[in-house]
Structure 1
Amino acid sequence: MSSSNRPGWNASSVVGPLGLIGILAAPTITLPAVAATSLAPSVQPPAAAAVDIQNEYVLGAGDRLKAEFFGVPEFSQDYQVLPNGSLNLPRVGGVTVAGMTLRQASAVIGNRYRRYLTRPLVTLSLVAGRPVNVAIAGEINRPGAYGMSSALLNGNSVNSVVVPTLTQLIKQAEGITQAADLAQVKITRRHATGTSVRQVNLWQLLRAGDASQDIRLQDGDSIYIPATANIDLAAARERTRTNISTNSNRPLRIAIVGEVNRPGPYTIFEGAQNADGRTATPNSIAPTITKALQISGGITQMADLRNIHVHRQTHNGQAQRIKVDFWELLKSGDVLQDLPLQDGDRIEIARASTPNKAELSDRAKASFSPDKIAVNVVGEVERPGSVSINPNAPLNEGLFAAGGFNKRARKRNVTLVRLEPDGTASKREIAIDFSKGRNEQTNPSLRDGDTIIVKRSGLAGVGDSLGILSAPITGAFSVLRLLGIVR
């Protein structure tokens, strides 16, 4: 029995164009919890090793061969291995060659011609390798069946073939998903006596350069990439920098809900954009949570940065819930918290029960906070209307942005109205003291959508000043009236 027909995956096995090279057993490596930045070099699997055609390439149905008969040019021509694994040759008819190397098949054919030729010297060479049909499923972007071909390498003294490998198939299937468990890739291989299953650890290939894990594929192989049970943030970031990950110019459709300024569905294109919005120069790493927060208008001041979850659906139907702590990213620079995203992810930003006022200034400076917030300033100011100020700016800055008090203003205090996301509203009187810095009593931090009402001095109420309000504020002011905040 040829080696290709033995159900085994030992280190000495050599099987046909999609055969195995020696497998080195190695323990699983666990990454230390260190930050892996997008500036790190991309991890590349090594190129597939060439196979010595004469001594390693195993023949099968579909291979096209050139047979040269020494001294008998009329027999020398191209032949194709038939579906039954044989070559139909002149005089001798069918000769089974499937499962043999070219050198072995040459010897068998020569022996069959002894009754016809005095010195039967036959040399076989590979003209074109047979197509290899394999299937891949699980955490891969385009699961399904694929046909792959071998590539011939010919030189002065080299006659070899590069056969398809596991990583080449993964790349052809548009890469792994973020949920893929690379340590437990399973390859099922059919043999004449049944099937065998081999588990491959692609982390050994990507981290240690163990080329034995990049299995040479064989016709009929089935590959399954399972979903990981636990998300390792370090491994998640490292996974995106390999050349078997999802192509980074692939559009990602995600949804973001909770404490962001513009929740909803989004399509993200990573890298520099062409005029049509598609990626021209993709980055080396997939879009991350930070990118999603930026395109959704940034977080609100009520966002709980320690309680962000990514909900991810795996290809086996199971849901993953991944928690990240953006406060660690903000304070200690732990970029591992900035999880790379994949198509279909839903990001949920929880609402803090009580915002930590000591942290508001730090979070306002973050790249995932909005660049500006809009505050309404109505009543007796020089330029009433909506003003754009920096996140977490104090109340005084909102007044200054509207030109400050006019001559009719009551300057002792103003009314701060805040509409909460749950539909409730709060109203408080703030005693104005421009000599004081930011503080909760006289100069509190503003939130997006806040309204500052400056009343008229004397006996006149706010209603007397409605005529000076600009059109953009009329809608917001009407909402305040409906809520009973102003009359």
Structure 2
Amino acid sequence: MRSVWGIVLLAGSALVDPNPSLAQQPIAEDNPRAQIPNATPLPPSPAYTLGGGDLVNVNILGLPEYSGQYQIPVDGRLNLPLIGTVSVEGLTLEEASRAIEGAYRQVLRRPQIAVSLVAPRPLNIWVSGEVNRPGSYLMRLTPGAGNIPGVQYPTVVQALEQAQGVTLAADIRQVQVRRFSRAGEDEVYTLDLWAMLRTGDGGQDITLRDGDAIFVPTTPEINLEQTRQLATTSFSRDTELPRTVAVVGAVERPGTYSVLGSETGEGIRAAGLPTATRAIQLAGGIKPDANIRQIQLRRPTITGGDQILTLNLWQLLQTGDFTQDPILQNGDTIFIPTATEINPTEAAILARTNFSPETIDVNVIGEAVNAGSLRLPPNTPLNQALLAAGGFDPNRANRDTVELFRLNPDGTVSQRIINVNLDAGINEQSNPILRDNDVVAINRSGLVKIGDTINTATGFSSNASGFLRIFDFFGLFEYLRLPRRQ
């Protein structure tokens, strides 16, 4: 059950709010309210004012036949016996009692009237700004606890929860409540809900009145640690609800994904939070050349612009800094750039992370001992793929070079000739890291080509399997229907 800070008790004909006026409390130097820039003093809690929809009891002492319950019409005017209509719109219970007494003095000698609230009307509250569902909300007053009859007023936090919580771009230190005063002027109060989270300062969560408008501004500066804390509060969007985000750049399957808190789909099931790394998992994981130190998270705001957060997942891996893996919200875009240089040691570490793909598919065709499709760990270098395919065919393979065919983002296939060095470490020239769907072609040696040519000319084939491997190589691109780029 979500907490409610403001409790208003109804006793007899008067409505009493137990929260004293904050304006009457001394503000200590360490009080977080003293740190709010340009903060308007928070309002004292005024007595309840009547309006259309309230159910009241009008008791005329000594005349029970004229006493009874009345529903106040939308115009705020009660139609009473003997005297007709009396306006009680905007009056407190005590003021309404005096107004009705004054009207009854025309027909009764020294009337004594007591007006009490039987059932309050719902409050109409407007919520706007950095909330997930801005708009107008009807908020009902609920019965108070204890033996004394009373009602419990909705608070700012409850109104934010009704609006499906604040966005993660919200500045909860500067939440504004605009209230129309009886004097005809608007009063604006600035609340620091962060102080409430940090110190338990419940006085920041003021009770609302009918017609109040709440505005949540956009934070001017993003703090990753505070953003993560904000995401888990009761007045943020429920982490179990889905949020739609885009993941682009150096990932296996760029696109739009629905990220859940407890289940991400695509065979990935785990309890947790809808974070950036979970979205990357849905996108198939990072590519081997991803720059995980400069990931950008672009977050839309109500002002129409974007907030940009720079994430460093390497810092997350090295120090456990979970602030680098923020909780996402609807409309976020994650961009993973491409690294200009790959560190072999880091590549091996990244291959074991949960935001790298579990395996990649690599085809080794041509003159290998066990040519075919291989499922390999991510960031597998060329030399390891050759060994996984059984190595070069000792009788037929050209061991000096291989051809690497790679699917490009534009749909074409690039072709490179790699000078093989089985003793080399990971490097782009002789032992590059392979990517998903790469094709490694091992060609015939010069002597084997000559022999195959002679056999073909004379109608014989000394190695039918070699021919079939070559046929499969060209058939692969026929099957994929991809243009080849030399």
Q: TM-score interval w.r.t. the shorter chain?
A: 0.7 to 0.9
The aligned amino acid for 2:212 is D
Q: Report if the CA contact (8 A) 2:407-2:437 is conserved.
A: no
| Structure 2 CA distance for aligned equivalents of residues 368 and 389 of structure 1 | 16
In the other structure, the counterpart of 2:22 is 22
Does residue 387 of structure 1 match 2:379?
no
In the other structure, the counterpart of 1:429 is 419
Q: Report if the CA contact (8 A) 2:366-2:470 is conserved.
A: yes
Q: 1:354 aligns with which of 338, 341, 350?
A: 341
Deviations 1:175-208 (A, max 9, x none): 1111111111111111232112111111122222
Query: Greater shift after overlay, 192-201 or 343-352?
Result: 192-201
Gaps of 5+ in 2: 1-13, 36-44, 454-465
Does residue 455 of structure 1 match 2:435?
no
In the other structure, the counterpart of 2:80 is 89
| Structure 2 CA distance for aligned equivalents of residues 207 and 187 of structure 1 | 21
| Structure 1 CA distance for aligned equivalents of residues 477 and 15 of structure 2 | 75
Q: Say which SS state the counterpart of residue 317 (structure 2) adopts.
A: helix
Does residue 148 of structure 1 match 2:139?
yes
The aligned amino acid for 1:452 is V
After TM superposition, give the deviation of residue 290 of structure 1 in Å. Answer: 0.2
The aligned amino acid for 2:157 is T
The structure showing larger relative contact order (alpha-carbon pairs under 8 Å, at least 6 residues apart) is 1
Q: Say which SS state the counterpart of residue 386 (structure 1) adopts.
A: strand
Q: 2:292 aligns with which of 300, 305, 309?
A: 305
Does residue 213 of structure 1 match 2:204?
yes
| Structure 2 CA distance for aligned equivalents of residues 440 and 309 of structure 1 | 26
In the other structure, the counterpart of 2:10 is none
Q: Report if the CA contact (8 A) 2:403-2:442 is conserved.
A: no
Q: Say which SS state the counterpart of residue 143 (structure 2) adopts.
A: strand
Q: 1:325 aligns with which of 265, 289, 312?
A: 312
The 5-angstrom pairing of residues 35-50 of structure 1 reads none
After TM superposition, give the deviation of residue 266 of structure 1 in Å. Answer: 1.7
The aligned amino acid for 1:190 is F
Does residue 196 of structure 1 match 2:187?
yes
Structure 1 116/154 Cα, relative in aligned 2: closer, same or farther at 3 Å?
Answer: farther
Q: Say which SS state the counterpart of residue 250 (structure 1) adopts.
A: coil
Does residue 171 of structure 1 match 2:161?
yes
Q: Report if the CA contact (8 A) 2:419-2:430 is conserved.
A: no
After TM superposition, give the deviation of residue 441 of structure 1 in Å. Answer: 8.1
Q: 1:161 aligns with which of 151, 154, 172?
A: 151
In the other structure, the counterpart of 2:475 is 474
Q: Say which SS state the counterpart of residue 370 (structure 1) adopts.
A: coil
Structure 1 56/363 Cα, relative in aligned 2: closer, same or farther at 3 Å?
Answer: same
In the other structure, the counterpart of 1:42 is none
Does residue 134 of structure 1 match 2:121?
no
In the other structure, the counterpart of 1:47 is none
After TM superposition, give the deviation of residue 141 of structure 1 in Å. Answer: 1.1
The 5-angstrom pairing of residues 43-58 of structure 1 reads 56-58=47-49
Q: Report if the CA contact (8 A) 2:288-2:433 is conserved.
A: no
Q: Say which SS state the counterpart of residue 257 (structure 1) adopts.
A: strand
Structure 1 28/162 Cα, relative in aligned 2: closer, same or farther at 3 Å?
Answer: closer
Structure 1 length-normalised TM: 0.78
Structure 1 161/457 Cα, relative in aligned 2: closer, same or farther at 3 Å?
Answer: same
Q: CA RMSD in A?
A: 3.7
Q: Report if the CA contact (8 A) 2:52-2:74 is conserved.
A: yes
In the other structure, the counterpart of 1:251 is 242
| Structure 2 CA distance for aligned equivalents of residues 315 and 394 of structure 1 | 46
Q: Report if the CA contact (8 A) 1:431-1:441 is conserved.
A: no
Does residue 376 of structure 1 match 2:351?
no
After TM superposition, give the deviation of residue 137 of structure 1 in Å. Answer: 1.2
Deviations 1:62-121 (A, max 9, x none): 211122334422122111334454433222334444444435544554565467667745
Q: Report if the CA contact (8 A) 2:368-2:397 is conserved.
A: no
Q: Report if the CA contact (8 A) 1:304-1:352 is conserved.
A: yes
| Structure 2 CA distance for aligned equivalents of residues 86 and 193 of structure 1 | 20
Deviations 1:434-470 (A, max 9, x none): xx88788876543334333333356124998352258
Structure 1 154/330 Cα, relative in aligned 2: closer, same or farther at 3 Å?
Answer: closer
Q: Report if the CA contact (8 A) 2:177-2:212 is conserved.
A: yes
After TM superposition, give the deviation of residue 283 of structure 1 in Å. Answer: 5.8
Residues paired across the two proteins, number:
439
After TM superposition, give the deviation of residue 16 of structure 1 in Å. Answer: 9.9
In the other structure, the counterpart of 1:6 is none
Q: Report if the CA contact (8 A) 1:414-1:432 is conserved.
A: no
Structure 1 154/239 Cα, relative in aligned 2: closer, same or farther at 3 Å?
Answer: closer
Q: Say which SS state the counterpart of residue 118 (structure 2) adopts.
A: strand
In the other structure, the counterpart of 1:293 is 280
Structure 2 length-normalised TM: 0.78
Structure 1 474/437 Cα, relative in aligned 2: closer, same or farther at 3 Å?
Answer: same
Overall identity of the aligned pairs, in %: 38
Deviations 1:199-221 (A, max 9, x none): 11111222222222112222222
Largest Rg, 1 or 2: 2
After TM superposition, give the deviation of residue 140 of structure 1 in Å. Answer: 1.0
In the other structure, the counterpart of 1:45 is none
Q: Say which SS state the counterpart of residue 170 (structure 2) adopts.
A: coil
Deviations 1:124-182 (A, max 9, x none): 332211222121111111111122221123753x1211112111111111111111111
In the other structure, the counterpart of 2:397 is 410
Structure 1 241/154 Cα, relative in aligned 2: closer, same or farther at 3 Å?
Answer: closer
Q: Report if the CA contact (8 A) 1:63-1:129 is conserved.
A: yes
The aligned amino acid for 1:391 is P
| Structure 2 CA distance for aligned equivalents of residues 385 and 21 of structure 1 | 79
Q: 2:223 aligns with which of 224, 232, 256?
A: 232
Q: Say which SS state the counterpart of residue 205 (structure 1) adopts.
A: helix
Q: Report if the CA contact (8 A) 2:398-2:446 is conserved.
A: no
| Structure 1 CA distance for aligned equivalents of residues 472 and 34 of structure 2 | 63
The aligned amino acid for 2:239 is S
Q: 1:483 aligns with which of 462, 482, 485?
A: 485
